[in-house]
Amino acid sequence: MVVLRLVHIVLGALWVGSVFALTAVVAPGMQALGLPLDPVMRTLEHRKFPQLMMTFAGLSILAGLAMLYKLSNGFQAAFMGSHFGSALSFGGLCAILALVIGASVQAPSAARAKAIRLDMKNTPRQGEDPRQAAVSALQRRIVTAGRVVLILLLLTVSAMAVARYL
């Protein structure tokens, strides 16, 4: 149980902190300065940051589910229906939804933007390139989904923080 808790809390903290930093600080700061997000996105992709965050998220969720299973003696109704069990379940559900949004909205959008940027590099066009507008739209989609993910993760952390005291 100690190892599960360590994995759950450390990887969860890294996941939530990274999402917060990028979504609430870096992206809005760059947008406020009128700077494009493209160089940051490319750097994060190059360093395999999205895959790392998905791994942290997945392992944190799996560890949390394993702990919930042990704590509830196999997801028994009496525990799951308690305030404590309900709060942990709500937090877990929010985390799972955050991971699903990251995997189904953000990751494909980032992959598509990367493919378009590669096409732009390999086949440059004269003048205004409509592909840049497509990349910008995908980046806006990633940022918007990031805000939803951040809200879900803040709900997760809040539920987990107070669950024992309900």
pLDDT band at 41 (very low <50, low <70, confident <90, very high): confident
Instruction: Provide mean pLDDT across the span 65-93.
Output: 96
Average pLDDT, the chain: 92
Query: What's the pLDDT score for residue 160?
Result: 95
Please state, in angstroms and rounded to a whole number, the distance separating the CA atoms of residues 136 and 134: 5
Helix (H) or strand (E) holding 58: helix 49-71
Query: What's the pLDDT score for residue 14?
Result: 97
Q: Are 68 and 89 in contact (CB under 8 A)?
A: yes
> Token digits for 34?
């009128």
The structural domains of the chain, with segments of one domain joined by +, span 2-165
Provide the whole-model pTM: 0.88
Query: What's the pLDDT score for residue 37?
Result: 75
Residue 100: phi, psi to the nearest 5? -60, -45
> Token digits for 14?
């890294």
